[in-house]
Structure 1
Amino acid sequence: MNRRAGTVGGRTYDESDVRIRPSKGSRPRTKTRPSHDDAETAMVVSVDRGRWGCVLDGDPNRRVVTMRARELGRTPIVVGDRVGVVGDLTGRPDTLARIVRVEDRSTVLRRTADDNDPYERIVVANADHLLIVTALADPPPRTGFVERALAAAYAGGLKPILCLTKSDLATPEEFAAHFADLDLPVITAGRDDNLDELWTVLEGHLTALIGHSGVGKSTLVNRLVPDAFRATGVVSGVGKGRHTSTQSVALPLPGSEESDPPRGWVVDTPGIRSFGLAHVTPDQIVDAFDDLQAAVEDCPRGCTHLGPPADPECALDALTGSSHRRAMAVRELLVSVTSHGTEDPSHDAF
């Protein structure tokens, strides 16, 4: 018998008759993935070291701990994301479900480490409102912080609301006047203030809260959600408080009765020391205002909307009345945001 053919039992065999079973590691992987049509809808309410806390169907009493399914790879999943969940959905201790799908986001609040960092970090997804919590004193309010928060909100599709705390130490009128032409809602929510106006804004919505450490954000959250047990801190001697919240978490706003569904959700975020806006473009900010969005269609290509001398033909200059006042306020916002990128990062850091 030669190496290529031989006779066994009267039958001649050659190399075409050889069948080699592939090893386990060499078997081709199928591209077919399960559809997970039975996945339940959930909202991500917390993230901690590769585990995601979720509530099923928006019900705070149906909480599960989940992991990310292998087929999602490194898909980012953040607080506020609406996801599809399968597996053990009992929520019993030591059980894990799997996130198999992340729905498209309606809004995204992003930040970068600084104004030159191209890597975007998602703070919260699908929030309707951004509540910008600012103290009127101790620490003193900073227009730069609010301006950067506004830029992030406009770019991400969130409706910004300015919330002023510590009104027992200073009056809100002078600081709020800086933003009057932007039609920015302003709510005073000091320790002794009634929160009815704030409740009207929050009800039925997912609202993200941001603010420097020490401005009273956790105190405000504790008033809205008495069972939140969020720590309250003391402002340090250098003007920036200790970070009293270490990670973002979505909290249900309680109804009148314990059995009532939540009146809305608030996302408490860690106290912010720096918030880069490398991902934000002037057009994204302008597009948040319908009247300005229509006007800039007549701007020359490459216009930054900063006005003369940089943009002598900017169409915003041709507006009149309230639109012109708003355009000039937006231009001040653009100038402020773009100029802070070259300043000391400790100044008006957001």
Structure 2
Amino acid sequence: MPRRFQHYTEEDVRVRPNRRGTRPRSKQRPDHADAAPGLVTAVDRGRYHVLTDAGTPVVAIKARELGRGAIVVGDRVDLVGDVSGAEGSLARVVRVHERSTVLRRSAEDSDSHQRVIVANADQLVIVTALADPEPRPRMVDRCLVAAFDAGMDALLFLTKADLAPPEPFLQRYAGLDVPAVTTRLAGDQVHGLEQVHERLTGRVSVLVGHSGVGKSTLVNALVPDAERATGGVNVVTGRGRHTSSSAVALALPEGGWIIDTPGVRSFGLAHVEADRFLAAFTDLAEVAQACPRGCTHADDAPDCALDEWAATAGPVGRARLESFRRLLASRLAGDDGPHPPCTEVLL
């Protein structure tokens, strides 16, 4: 049979409305004047645990307009939506306040990608064990550089003084204005916490250190209801086992905050320039202004003004220069590899 063709006219054509253009677009965003401020205490798979200034713990997600910028523990944020804290409720982070400090690290010194660890902390507590596992001084040096670069105070926290004396290790840092506290275990009790409370109360302190050095044990002693998991040291590798998988901020009973972080095995400083932490040694920085242009201030730097200054600076001045140059060498060298025994004072 011959095929019949349907004849259409304009009246048979139905045009769908352009729905994409029906809503007027505007670059104006709501100012969220009624947003509730709070502190980010933990981050878990895209969910942000926030303690509001009213004392309510809230779970929130990030608003789309904030883009891909990271929100980290310690950030001050503003929330909208359900901020009641009721089970199953979900608020929205619409604003991140300007940060006073940012602690960063890279995976390696050659890695340009920087990872923000915490925000708005004013003290970096470098936790290291005096034994089991053996201390890694170069790791401590690198953390000191990161603290200086971030504009944070540094505190050396030495654990397990019941296994080894702290004096040989502390001798390395005699030329630095860095305070130190020590604790020791006696059974299940941590001794030496009085001096720790004095250094932490009223401050926002972030704890950094290798796995197995006793960070979680310390946190549980300072915050009894923290319930941070603790672990031992691998008898084969001599390294600690990871027990904390994410950073968490905990309120101290006497006031202030401590931020416990997962154990790290490297602390890259690709983002730190030598002049940044030279400024932490104010006396050396003033002398270095007389150095030739492009001076590296290292041991082999020709005509470095620091060498001439150290010749008449006395034992304390020379110790400070030695400490600075050790930190500089730590910035330029990798963190892996053999580490010298801490009983020697290495320059």
TM-score for both structures, normalised by structure 1: 0.85
Query: Partners of 1:191 and 1:317 in 2: how far apart?
Result: 43
SS in 2 for 1:162: strand
Query: Partners of 1:67 and 1:347 in 2: how far apart?
Result: 44
Q: Which moved more, 1:98-107 or 1:223-232?
A: 98-107
What corresponds to 1:214 in structure 2? 212
2:66 to 52, 62, 72: 72
Query: Partners of 1:77 and 1:144 in 2: how far apart?
Result: 30
Question: 1:275 and 1:23, CA in 2 relative to 1: closer, same or farther beyond 3 A?
Answer: same
Following superposition, the deviation at residue 254 of structure 1 comes to 1.5
Structure 2 counterpart of 1:315, which letter?
A
1:235 to 225, 233, 236: 233
What corresponds to 1:131 in structure 2? 125
1:51 to 43, 47, 53: 47
Query: Partners of 2:211 and 2:91 in 1: how far apart?
Result: 34
Question: 1:38 and 1:295, CA in 2 relative to 1: closer, same or farther beyond 3 A?
Answer: farther
Q: Is 1:34–2:30 an aligned residue pair?
A: yes
Query: Partners of 1:315 and 1:98 in 2: how far apart?
Result: 55
1:315 to 298, 301, 305: 305
For 1:190-339, what aligned pairs fall within 5 Å after superposition?
190-192=184-186, 193-237=191-235, 238-255=237-254, 263-308=255-300, 311-319=301-309, 320-321=313-314, 322-339=316-333
Question: 1:293 and 1:38, CA in 2 relative to 1: closer, same or farther beyond 3 A?
Answer: farther
SS in 1 for 2:298: coil
Structure 2, unmatched stretches of 5+, are 1-15, 340-347
Does structure 2 retain, via aligned residues, the 8 Å contact 1:148–1:337?
yes
Structure 2 counterpart of 1:67, which letter?
I
What do the CA deviations read for 1:313-343 (whole angstroms, capped 9, x no partner)?
Answer: 33323432444431231112111331226xx
What corresponds to 1:141 in structure 2? 135
Q: Is 1:165–2:144 an aligned residue pair?
A: no
SS in 2 for 1:191: strand
Does structure 1 retain, via aligned residues, the 8 Å contact 2:208–2:263?
yes
For 1:76-95, what aligned pairs fall within 5 Å after superposition?
76-95=70-89
Query: Partners of 1:82 and 1:171 in 2: how far apart?
Result: 40
What do the CA deviations read for 1:57-84 (whole angstroms, capped 9, x no partner)?
Answer: 2x6x411111111110112110011112
Q: Which moved more, 1:96-105 or 1:124-133?
A: 96-105
Structure 1 counterpart of 2:218, which letter?
L
Query: Partners of 2:110 and 2:274 in 1: how far apart?
Result: 16
Structure 2 counterpart of 1:198, which letter?
V
Does structure 2 retain, via aligned residues, the 8 Å contact 1:162–1:186?
yes
Structure 2 counterpart of 1:135, which letter?
A
Following superposition, the deviation at residue 287 of structure 1 comes to 1.4
Q: Is 1:101–2:95 an aligned residue pair?
A: yes
Following superposition, the deviation at residue 241 of structure 1 comes to 1.6
Question: 1:293 and 1:100, CA in 2 relative to 1: closer, same or farther beyond 3 A?
Answer: farther
Query: Partners of 1:296 and 1:84 in 2: how far apart?
Result: 44
What do the CA deviations read for 1:74-113 (whole angstroms, capped 9, x no partner)?
Answer: 1211001111222211111111111111111111111111
Query: Partners of 1:251 and 1:47 in 2: how far apart?
Result: 13
SS in 2 for 1:298: coil
Identity of counterpart residues, as a percentage?
Answer: 52
What corresponds to 1:23 in structure 2? 19
Following superposition, the deviation at residue 128 of structure 1 comes to 0.9
Does structure 2 retain, via aligned residues, the 8 Å contact 1:317–1:324?
no
Following superposition, the deviation at residue 284 of structure 1 comes to 1.2
Following superposition, the deviation at residue 299 of structure 1 comes to 3.0
What corresponds to 1:259 in structure 2? none
Query: Partners of 2:153 and 2:22 in 1: how far apart?
Result: 53
Does structure 2 retain, via aligned residues, the 8 Å contact 1:64–1:97?
yes
Equivalences, count = 315
SS in 2 for 1:181: coil
TM-score for both structures, normalised by structure 2: 0.86
Structure 2 counterpart of 1:327, which letter?
L
